[in-house]
Amino acid sequence: MSLSVRHNTQARGQPLEFHYRSRNPFGTLIALAGRSGWFYLWPLTIFVLKQSPAWVIPILSAKAIDTLSDPARHSLHDLLMFGVFTLLLLAQNVPMHTYFIHLVSTTIRRMEQRLRMSLVIRLQQLSIGFHDKTETGRLQAKVLRDVEQIQTMSMYLCESGTMGVTTIVFALCLTAAKDPPMLLVYLALAPVAVFLIRFFKKSIRERNRDFRSNMESVSAEVAQMLDMIPVTRAHGLEGSAISRFRRQTDTLLQRGVHLDRLNATFVSSSWVTFQTTTILGLCITFWLCRAGRISVGDVVLYQGLLMQIVASISVFTNVYPQVAKGVESIRSIGEVLECPDIELNEGKQPVTRVEGAIEFERVEYSYPGTSIPALKGFSLRAAAGDCVALVGPSGAGKSTVMGLAIGFRRPTSGRILLDGADMQTLDMRQYRRFISVVPQQTYLFRGTIRENITFGLDAVDRRTLDEVVEMTHVSDFVRNLPEGLDTPVGEGGSTLSGGQRQRIAIARAMIRDPRLIIFDEATTALDAESENLVQDAIYRMIQGRTTFIVAHRLSTVRKAGKIVFLRAGQVVEQGSYDELMALGGDFFRMNELAG
Ligand code: ADP
């Protein structure tokens, strides 16, 4: 059969990992924002404009007091003019503030989206080994929670950070212009803030890391608990599942409280220190005024400026806990974006055509971190169009052979040849366009039956789809559905029977018109009629294509041209059904047991 379909090309999107350096969190943030240095001048100008009333009000207060205390030297008219000017400045705050937030928000929200997209692109590139060892819930927490933390931190830095810096600069400039020695009082504050941050930094960082990793564990636990609900319910283990979750959240609760307490100590220590400094500042200006060096208005002005500086430095110390959380999230995301465990396909030989001959040459494979190889000296030759059944006890290495044939795993030693070419030298992404995998567990996503079958294909012509639907017996049950192929299926295919789900999975594999089929025959207990239909669908699909089947049913094994019996990672018997039965070995005994 010749099928007419078009594959989805590589998802669009520029991976970010090249800019991503979690060791340099702020450099990374700027790179993530993706704006040139000049861009920042514009929001900065808008910020200065919208913030200016806050700086001008202390000057107005000082002028008012000086006009009252010394009317001969300060005119009421000047004061009134200055008052009108301040009111005008105040009026522009609303539109300017909204515009400033619009500028900042579009940059930061875009960064948030780029970060999520980069994570998803990277997660699609990372090896199956990485996904095997990383729980889904943990990764979910990174894509959702950590990105949100970075967004919140960036928002804080843009608003509060800019306010802090500009206010300090303004107060320092005004004081330097009026009375330079007063600068010394302000400058004394900076080391105090630096000291405070340094003093608390290490513990805040450690507590944040603890909390973040605990949060990821809880997220992984939720994902696992939801997956397990049918099993938990079936065994009446709801109570144990709830207690298990409570233990996890108890730890999270304790760590959260510790973190909040530490943050509170830090914030209030800063507050007390800074307030003490303002009192000290007041003493100095009071003394200077009594000595006749400055006016009463100046006392008010300096006090106003000092309080603004203190408020700005406090802003930094107040946002520090949030910044620490954001920095920890940058690190957390780095665990994915900087992970080198990806499949390298760049520069490899393109695969434009696959005949389907595949050969394993003395292949050995050990899972990372294990000492006993899962596969030893495995050799197997399948010509194009052959059907090979892998049988053997569980743990024998059947799935490992499948993983190697798909190119998910690379042999620790030995070679796998595809149409005579070493798989190591081939672009595996292109190779996989020619293969179809029907896993043991049928994955259906929320969508229509049609979408589930044509998943990943841009265009499928109607005749092809009808043909596939007919051949795989999907038509048998779709015919009775009110919306036919456009009937929505629940998440995981919950509204369909096991046999129906399997037939959809087979249709999905078949419509891709693969040259090589990797089939993990499901053990789902199907009724005799469903089993016959599924069997028939499998049989029709594998005609003329190279097929590897992990076979659980004797009927499938009988149809396979070659049977490989595996035990403890080694081939113990290999041959046709009749040959192995005649041998009277492991395969024969397995058949006897199955009755
Ligand atoms: P089968 O499919 O025949 O049941 P597998 O290929 O899944 O067997 O497993 C072969 C061996 O490799 C087993 O001993 C199993 O414990 C081990 N194994 C399988 N997957 C992993 C993994 N991700 N990490 C470590 N060991 C694994």
β-strand partners of 437: 518
CATH number of the domain residue 329 falls in: 1.20.1560.10
Q: Which of 21-30, 68-77, 143-152, 194-203 has the highest mean pLDDT?
A: 143-152
pLDDT tens figures, 192-228: 767 777 788 788 888 888 888 888 888 888 888 888 8
* Number of domains within the chain: 2
Task: Give, for ligand 1, the residue of 378, 400, 520, 521 to mutate: max count of ligand atoms closer than 8 Å to Cβ.
Answer: 400
Q: Which of 306, 337, 368 is the last residue of a domain?
A: 337
Over residues 362-388, the mean pLDDT reads: 92
pLDDT tens figures, 294-353: 888 888 888 888 887 788 877 777 788 888 889 999 999 998 988 888 777 778 889 998
Q: Are residues 410 and 283 in the same domain?
A: no
15 domain-assigned: no
In this prediction, residue 13 carries a pLDDT of 45
302 domain-assigned: yes
Q: Tell me the C-alpha distance between 510 and 146, whole Å.
A: 39
Burial of 12 by CB count in 10 Å (0-12 exposed, 13-18 middle, 19+ buried)? exposed
CA distances from 23 to 29, 194, 201, 340, 401 (A): 11, 21, 16, 16, 39
Residue 452 has pLDDT above 50, yes or no: yes
Query: Which of 44, 50, 76 lies closest to 63 in space, CA to CA?
Result: 76
CATH number of the domain residue 433 falls in: 3.40.50.300
195 domain-assigned: yes
Determine contact, residues 399/571, Cβ cutoff 8 Å. no
State in Å, rounded, how far the first CA of the chain is from the last one: 37
3-state secondary structure 329-390: HHHHHHHHHCCCCECCCCCCECCCCCCCCEEEEEEEECCCCCCCCCEEEEEEEECCCCEEEE
Q: What is the pLDDT confidence band of residue 405, given thresholds at 50, 70 and 90?
A: very high
Q: Ligand 1 within 6 A of 523 CB?
A: no
Q: Could you tell me the two tokens for 572?
A: 């113990």
Q: Ligand 1 within 6 A of 425 CB?
A: no
CA distances from 336 to 36, 125, 239, 480 (A): 26, 10, 35, 46
β-pairing, 457-460 vs 5-7, is: antiparallel
Q: Ligand 1 within 6 A of 374 CB?
A: yes
pLDDT tens figures, 124-136: 888 888 888 888 8
Q: What is the pLDDT confidence band of residue 472, given thresholds at 50, 70 and 90?
A: confident
Residue 390 CA: nearest ligand 1 atom is 3
Q: Which of 337, 367, 385 is the last residue of a domain?
A: 337
Q: Ligand 1 within 6 A of 131 CB?
A: no
In this prediction, residue 99 carries a pLDDT of 95
In this prediction, residue 526 carries a pLDDT of 64
Residue 566 CA: nearest ligand 1 atom is 3
Determine contact, residues 382/544, Cβ cutoff 8 Å. no
Please give the full DSSP string across 418-443, using - where no structure is assigned. ETTEEGGGB-HHHHGGGEEEE-SS--
Radius of gyration, CA atoms only, the chain: 35
235 domain-assigned: yes
Q: What is the pLDDT confidence band of residue 92, given thresholds at 50, 70 and 90?
A: very high
Determine contact, residues 273/188, Cβ cutoff 8 Å. no
Q: Are residues 329 and 366 in the same domain?
A: no
Q: What's at 283, amino acid-wise?
A: C
Q: Are residues 332 and 390 in the same domain?
A: no
Q: What is the pLDDT confidence band of residue 90, given thresholds at 50, 70 and 90?
A: very high
Q: What's at 258, amino acid-wise?
A: H
Domain region containing 36: 25-337
Q: Are residues 308 and 396 in the same domain?
A: no
Q: Tell me the C-alpha distance between 469 and 507, whole Å.
A: 6
The residue contributing the CA closest to ligand 1 atom 11 is 374
Q: Are residues 61 and 203 in the same domain?
A: yes
Q: Are residues 362 and 248 in the same domain?
A: no
Q: Tell me the C-alpha distance between 205 and 259, whole Å.
A: 10
Torsion over CA of 100, 102, 107 and 111, rounded to 10 degrees? 130
Residue 93 has pLDDT above 90, yes or no: yes
563 domain-assigned: yes
Q: Tell me the C-alpha distance between 72 and 89, whole Å.
A: 28
pLDDT tens figures, 543-553: 889 999 988 77
Q: What's at 528, amino acid-wise?
A: A
- Centre of ligand 1 to C-alpha 387, Å, is 23
Q: Tell me the C-alpha distance between 151 and 109, whole Å.
A: 7
CB neighbours of 301 closer than 8 A, spacing ≥ 6?
A: 58, 59, 61, 62, 178
Q: Which of 284, 307, 337 is the last residue of a domain?
A: 337
Q: Which of 46-50, 369-373, 589-593 has the lowest mean pLDDT?
A: 589-593
Phi, psi of 382 (to 5 degrees): -125, 120
441 domain-assigned: yes
Q: Which residue matches tokens 């001959």?
A: 357
Residue 372 CA: nearest ligand 1 atom is 14
Q: Tell me the C-alpha distance between 8 and 184, whole Å.
A: 66
In this prediction, residue 548 carries a pLDDT of 93
Query: Which of 37, 17, 20, 38 lies closest to 29 in space, CA to CA?
Result: 20
Q: Are residues 520 and 409 in the same domain?
A: yes
Q: Are residues 135 and 214 in the same domain?
A: yes
Q: Ligand 1 within 6 A of 367 CB?
A: yes
Q: What is the pLDDT confidence band of residue 102, given thresholds at 50, 70 and 90?
A: very high
Q: Ligand 1 within 6 A of 326 CB?
A: no
Residue 394 has pLDDT above 90, yes or no: no
| Predicted model pTM | 0.72
Q: What is the pLDDT confidence band of residue 12, given thresholds at 50, 70 and 90?
A: very low
Q: Which of 139-153, 185-199, 209-223, 450-464 has the highest mean pLDDT?
A: 139-153
106 domain-assigned: yes
8 domain-assigned: no
Over residues 412-441, the mean pLDDT reads: 90
CA distances from 215 to 5, 147, 252, 255 (A): 44, 14, 7, 10
In this prediction, residue 303 carries a pLDDT of 85
Q: Are residues 96 and 239 in the same domain?
A: yes
Q: Are residues 295 and 362 in the same domain?
A: no
Q: Are residues 271 and 175 in the same domain?
A: yes
Residue 569 CA: nearest ligand 1 atom is 10
Determine contact, residues 503/538, Cβ cutoff 8 Å. no
Q: Ligand 1 within 6 A of 132 CB?
A: yes
Q: Are residues 585 and 453 in the same domain?
A: yes
Q: What is the pLDDT confidence band of residue 527, given thresholds at 50, 70 and 90?
A: low
